């Protein structure tokens, strides 16, 4: 059964829906005000909770060093939390720098208002919500496909927490699939038991912009991580950390990787996937 647009609903139903929404907003605000008095102090060992209110300054203290662009720090105004809406007042950095690239990619420091909740996951099975005690900057890369916007990636507690296991898994010579904003590659490279980090990224435009923000010890290769793994013996890398999927559950249906696990001896045991390995393993 298809859903009916809100404006086509009878007036009494619209009023009922608005009343429920108002009650939900008031309940959230009440819960936020109470939890704000004793917020979670963020660190690398912060555990998942279904409803989290995090101290903004502690979040910055442990994560801001991994932002790709430190000088674009915005704190003086509020920005919509509707990621797909472009505002004239947005600070937008065109990260494409390639006129032949079919899409635009825009880097923004979105300012999330205090008390506004984001989706939060501690793992693929743990789902909740998180808010900050103050207006909080969220580094975001948005892809503009000319007729539509979509958030390609962002740096929130969800990304940080769900990727921690991959960082812990890394040791020795590490292959990272997917550059993103470069923060996980930096975290892995900073580990004492990691000797070398190689990142494989298929988006040349992203490499051109994020690549220069990485330490020189991190090697970035342009290409498909599937082709790279097929051509390069797995013995070249001690660990493989993959974060190449839009959603945390998408890796489970990655049949290309499923086939590679069958074809390349030892690959499965040395690989960590965001969201888990493809089904069948």
* Mean pLDDT to the nearest integer, 25-38: 87
Does residue 100 sit in the same domain as residue 212?
Answer: no
Note whether residue 3 is domain-resident. Answer: no
Determine how many CB atoms are found less than 10 A away from the CB of residue 98. 14
Q: Which residue has the higher pLDDT, 202 or 241?
A: 241
Domain finish residue from 159, 194, 228: 159
Note whether residue 4 is domain-resident. Answer: no
Q: Are 229 and 254 in contact (CB under 8 A)?
A: no
Is pTM beyond 0.85? Reply is no
Where in the sequence is the domain holding 219, given as residue range(s)? 170-273
pLDDT digits over 221-248, tens only? 999 999 998 887 666 889 999 998 888 8
C-alpha distances in angstroms, 118 versus 35, 57, 67, 68, 174? 16, 18, 19, 22, 31
Residue 17's φ and ψ, nearest 5 degrees, are -65, -45
Residue 70 has pLDDT above 80, yes or no: no
pLDDT band, residue 69 (cuts 50/70/90): confident
Cβ-based neighbours of 171, under 8 Å, separated by 6 or more: 191, 193, 194, 238, 239
pLDDT band, residue 184 (cuts 50/70/90): very high
Domain finish residue from 159, 194, 217: 159
Q: What average pLDDT is seen over the chain?
A: 81
Note whether residue 39 is domain-resident. Answer: yes
């Amino acid at each position: 059964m298809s859903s009916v647009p809100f404006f086509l609903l009878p007036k009494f139903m619209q009023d009922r829906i608005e009343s429920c929404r108002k009650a939900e907003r008031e309940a959230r605000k009440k819960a936020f005000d109470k939890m704000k008095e004793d917020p979670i102090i963020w660190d690398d060992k912060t555990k998942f909770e279904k409803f989290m209110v995090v101290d903004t300054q502690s979040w910055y203290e442990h994560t801001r060093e991994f932002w790709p662009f430190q000088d674009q720090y915005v704190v003086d105004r509020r920005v919509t939390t509707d990621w797909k809406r472009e505002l004239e007042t947005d600070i937008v950095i065109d990260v494409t720098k390639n006129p032949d690239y079919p899409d635009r990619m825009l880097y923004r420091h979105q300012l999330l208002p205090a008390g506004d909740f984001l989706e939060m996951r501690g793992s693929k099975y743990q789902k909740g919500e998180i808010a900050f005690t103050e207006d909080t900057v969220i580094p975001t890369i948005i892809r503009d496909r000319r007729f539509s916007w979509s958030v390609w990636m962002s740096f929130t507690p969800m990304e940080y927490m769900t990727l921690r296991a991959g960082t812990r898994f890394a040791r020795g010579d590490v292959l990272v699939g997917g550059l993103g904003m470069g923060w996980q590659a930096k975290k892995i490279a900073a580990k004492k038991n990691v000797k070398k980090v190689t990142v494989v990224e298929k988006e040349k435009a992203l490499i051109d912009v994020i690549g220069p923000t990485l330490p020189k010890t991190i090697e970035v290769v342009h290409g498909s991580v599937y082709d790279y793994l097929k051509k390069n013996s797995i013995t070249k890398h001690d660990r493989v950390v993959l974060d190449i999927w839009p959603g945390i559950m998408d890796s489970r249906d990655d049949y290309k990787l499923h086939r590679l696990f069958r074809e390349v001896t030892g690959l499965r045991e040395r690989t960590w996937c965001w969201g888990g390995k493809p089904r069948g393993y």
